[in-house]
């Protein structure tokens, strides 16, 4: 049950996120649908490639494609006065998609009997893969490559599921809520990971 619920939540969240980014970049209607679909299914496609599952398995998810198309259409039809809030809502939907797909990716790896390392990788790639493809197509720096806390939450979810700490539906839903909240808090308060910049060194040289 948790698998299906998280799939639907993740598809809707990332489809909306991709559509919002497309409209921010002033893409036409086709571009909005394309970026929304790619964002919704990109993470799963990347995950399947790396763990040996045929990418063609994505085409069997007809209902999920329909859900994504409905979500994109709904966003495209939003009233004009809500446009000013889209940047905030885009981050919120991205956080929901990251959490839902990270947990789903980790569950997928556990079901295949893969080791902890693969579970973490599956969580990170499924959770952030769609966002990476979205940002690259929109000519933006992918969130996962910035110094803000992003993929860390997906990796943490992968570890928790990989070690069997969360395996029942209610624990998975709790993990989903906690991960989403942590992601929202981290971008709201601008939490950052340690990083080094070479720009000042280049200027000094």
Per-residue pLDDT tens for 130-177?
989 999 999 888 877 776 788 899 999 999 999 999 888 899 999 999
Q: Give the pLDDT score at 166.
A: 86
pLDDT in tens, 55-107: 777 778 889 999 999 999 998 888 766 656 666 777 888 899 999 999 999 99
pLDDT tens readout for residues 110-138: 998 999 999 999 999 999 999 899 999 99
Query: Do you know the residue count of the chain?
Result: 205
Report CA 91 to chain centroid distance, whole Å.
10
Confidence of residue 178 (pLDDT cuts 50, 70, 90): very high
- pTM comes to 0.85
Residue 139's CB is within 10 A of a number of other CB atoms, namely: 7
Tokens 């649908």 sit on residue:
33
Domain ranges in the chain?
A: 2-192
Cβ–Cβ < 8 Å for 28, 108: no
- Within 8 A by CB and 6+ apart from 74, the residues are none
Residue 127's pLDDT is: 92
Residue with the bigger pLDDT between 37 and 4: it is 37
- The reported pLDDT for the residue numbered 34 is 95
- What is the predicted pLDDT for the residue at 69? 95
- Mean pLDDT computed over 181-187: 92
Provide the pLDDT for residue 81: 66
pLDDT at 147: 65
Residue 203 pLDDT level (bands cut at 50, 70, 90): low
Phi, psi dihedrals of residue 142, rounded to the nearest 5°: -55, 140
For tokens 């948790």, name the residue. Answer: 2
């Amino acid at each position: 049950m948790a698998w299906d619920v998280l799939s639907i939540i993740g598809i809707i969240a990332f489809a909306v996120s991709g559509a919002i980014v497309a409209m921010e970049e002033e893409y036409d209607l086709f571009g909005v649908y394309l970026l929304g679909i790619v964002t919704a299914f990109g993470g799963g496609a990347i995950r399947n490639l790396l763990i040996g599952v045929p990418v063609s398995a994505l085409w069997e998810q007809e209902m999920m494609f329909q859900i994504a198309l409905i979500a994109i259409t709904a966003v495209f039809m939003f009233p004009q006065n809500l446009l000013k809030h889209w940047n905030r809502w885009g981050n919120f939907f991205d956080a929901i998609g990251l959490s839902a797909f990270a947990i789903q990716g980790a569950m997928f790896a556990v079901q295949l009997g893969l080791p902890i390392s693969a579970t973490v990788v599956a969580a990170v790639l499924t959770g952030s893969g769609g966002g990476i493809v979205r940002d690259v197509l929109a000519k933006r720096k992918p969130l996962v490559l910035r110094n803000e806390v992003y993929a860390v939450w997906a990796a943490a979810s992968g570890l928790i599921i990989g070690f069997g700490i969360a395996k029942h539906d209610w624990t998975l839903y709790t993990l989903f809520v906690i991960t989403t909240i942590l992601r929202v808090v981290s971008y709201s308060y601008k939490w950052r990971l340690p990083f080094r910049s070479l720009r000042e060194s280049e200027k000094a040289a």
